[in-house]
């Protein structure tokens, strides 16, 4: 077991099983968000249900956040260290490249405060920008 990976799981109150360590190691290597099906393909012949439960546990404990990039296939990316089981603090812009079809977290691009009418209570907010990423623009 990699101690850094195992410790990251323990810090989020997640039992560091072999599958959880494999999934976290895969996520740590990603430059962009990844879909559940891509995680499954990368970890073949691992059990689909176990991978799904692992990702859901990671999401519930504040280790990953879900990104709806409009493709119909939710993507997952690692959260900021400040996220926990009670609250996600990933209020940043997500970018979908129409060329390479990758989805990126842009943590330095914060979502601006939105003034809602009275009696409207926001629970979560997403901002997705579509365009061409820096790699495809070259």
Say whether 88 counts as a known binding-site residue: yes
Contacts of 95 (CB under 8 A, 6+ apart): 103, 104, 106, 128, 129, 130, 131, 133
105 is known to lie in a ligand binding site: no
Bridge-based pairing state of the strands 128-131 and 92-97? parallel
3-state DSSP assignment of residue 116: coil
90 annotated among ligand-binding-site residues = yes
Q: List, as residue ranges, the binding site for Zn(2+).
A: 97, 100, 133, 136
Q: List, as residue ranges, the binding site.
A: 88, 90, 97, 100, 133, 136
- Return binding residues for Fe cation: 88, 90
């Amino acid at each position: 077991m990699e101690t850094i990976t195992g410790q990251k799981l323990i810090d989020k109150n997640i039992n560091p099983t072999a599958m959880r360590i494999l999934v976290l190691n895969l996520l740590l290597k990603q430059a962009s968000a990844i879909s559940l099906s891509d995680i499954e393909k990368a970890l073949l012949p691992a059990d689909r249900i176990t991978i799904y439960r692992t990702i859901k546990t990671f999401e519930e404990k504040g280790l990953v956040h879900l990104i709806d990039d409009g493709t119909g296939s939710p993507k997952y990316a690692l959260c900021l260290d400040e996220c926990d089981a009670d609250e996600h603090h990933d209020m940043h812009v997500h970018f979908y490249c129409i060329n390479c079809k990758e989805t990126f977290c842009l943590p330095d691009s914060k979502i601006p405060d939105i003034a809602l009418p009275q009696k409207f209570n926001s629970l979560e907010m997403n901002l997705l920008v579509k365009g061409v990423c820096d790699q495809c623009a070259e």
